Amino acid sequence: MAVRNVRLESDEILRKKSRPVEVVDEKIKELVGDMIETMHKFDGVGLAAPQVGVLKRVVVIDLYDGNEPYVLINPEIIKTKGEQEVDEGCLSFPNKFAKVIRPAEVTAKALDINGKEYKIKGKGLLAQAIVHEVDHLEGILFVDKIIPGTMEIIKPEE
């Protein structure tokens, strides 16, 4: 496994649509492992493959709650419920945070690391992360959805 470079806000790849994964093979499993390692290195809650320069429909999410990270291959949101106003950031936009409206609850279907289809239901932070990462696969970024006037830039401590 390896830490990959995270593509930053001006990178064109972040605006491109990702392609479905045809088969969950060793290459995809390696990508997932690298993405989890990269997400953890930068303390991210989620990471989508385009953020590491790969236009494949692959997402990893970790709520740091003692459970294994979620792996969503070819995720598809099938249901949303309610809405929540959340503070959001993105590893591709370091030190930038803003308020966004996201669904309060989400149901998605995806393939797991073994290529087996499953459903995932999320509330709160998990719902927010699923929608944020699936947006990445469509070339949609959180800055496209921010509530005007809420963007903050937090300077890193020296």
Counting the structural domains of the chain, the total is: 1
Structure tokens at 154: 């937090």
The answer to whether residue 65 sits within a structural domain is yes
∠113-55-9 over CA atoms, to 5°?
Answer: 115
The pTM of the full predicted model, rounded to 2 decimals, is 0.96
The answer to whether residue 54 sits within a structural domain is yes
CATH code of the domain covering residue 130: 3.90.45.10
For residue 124, the enclosing domain spans 12-153
pLDDT of residue 158: 60
pLDDT of residue 155: 83
* Residue 138, H or E segment: none
The answer to whether residue 49 sits within a structural domain is yes
Catalytic choice (30, 37, 88, 133)? 133
Name residue 73's amino acid: I
Active site residue 68: no
The answer to whether residue 98 sits within a structural domain is yes
The answer to whether residue 3 sits within a structural domain is no
Using CA atoms, how far residue 72 sits from 35, 45, 69, 77, 94, in Å, is 12, 14, 10, 11, 24
Q: What is the pLDDT of residues 62-112, one digit of tens each?
A: 999 999 999 999 999 999 999 999 999 999 999 999 999 999 999 999 999
d(CA 158, CA 149): 27
The answer to whether residue 48 sits within a structural domain is yes
Q: What is the pLDDT of residues 23-43, one digit of tens each?
A: 999 999 999 999 999 999 999
